[in-house]
Amino acid sequence: MRAEYLDRAAQQALLEEIRAIVRAAPLFAPRMPRTGKPLSVKMSNCGPLGWVADKAGYRYQPTHPDTGAPWPPMPRTLLDIWNDLSGFPHPPEACLINFYEASAKMGLHQDRDEETFEAPVVSLSLGDTCRFRLGGAARTAPTRSFKLASGDALVLGGDARLAHHGVDRIYPGTSTLLKDGGRINLTLRRVTAALE
């Protein structure tokens, strides 16, 4: 984890870029496969591919599930962050934008909808602090919890690439970055195997 990786000015600048993306690709409610139950987070994406979840399953696709439009391009800022933190020679193909309201959470899961796991997942937090839970590759592995605050970065790579992880809770009022509160989590991912 890189605590306070982004200072307040950098957080504010990145937030403005994310707002522009969400204006072009509005937040939508991902749904659980089979049951169609909505997740407690709202989300969008940017980059060539975006992650979606609905009754048909979890997948990456090049278009917004509601508008049918291509995802907005990934800002240079996010590409620079990837280059700084990932240690991976190829660019990310998707940036998931998850918005957590005060009551939202995310159960333990693995990020394994990608074709390859050789690249890390780079995660950035904006807004209210959350309690993040991190386990191991096996769902039954012991977990530990720690707080992620606005501006913190987390990289899950190597042995931790398939670690189970989740968000137990949001701490409302811990940041003034988002006018109405809440947390934005950005996760940068490589989806396909890089051709050498």
CATH number at residue 164: 2.60.120.590
- pLDDT tens for 113-158 read 999 899 999 999 999 999 999 999 999 999 999 999 999 999 999 9
Whether residue 97 has pLDDT greater than 60: yes
Number of domains in the chain: 1
pTM of the shown model:
0.95
Q: Is residue 194 part of a domain?
A: no
Which residues span the domain enclosing 154?
Answer: 8-189
* pLDDT at 194 > cutoff 80: no
Residue 1 lies in a domain: no
- The burial class, CB within 10 Å (0-12 / 13-18 / 19+), for 83 is middle
Tell me the sheet residues that pair with 51. Answer: 60
Evaluate whether residue 181 is within a structural domain: yes
pLDDT in tens, 1-51: 899 999 999 999 999 999 999 999 999 999 988 888 888 999 999 999 999
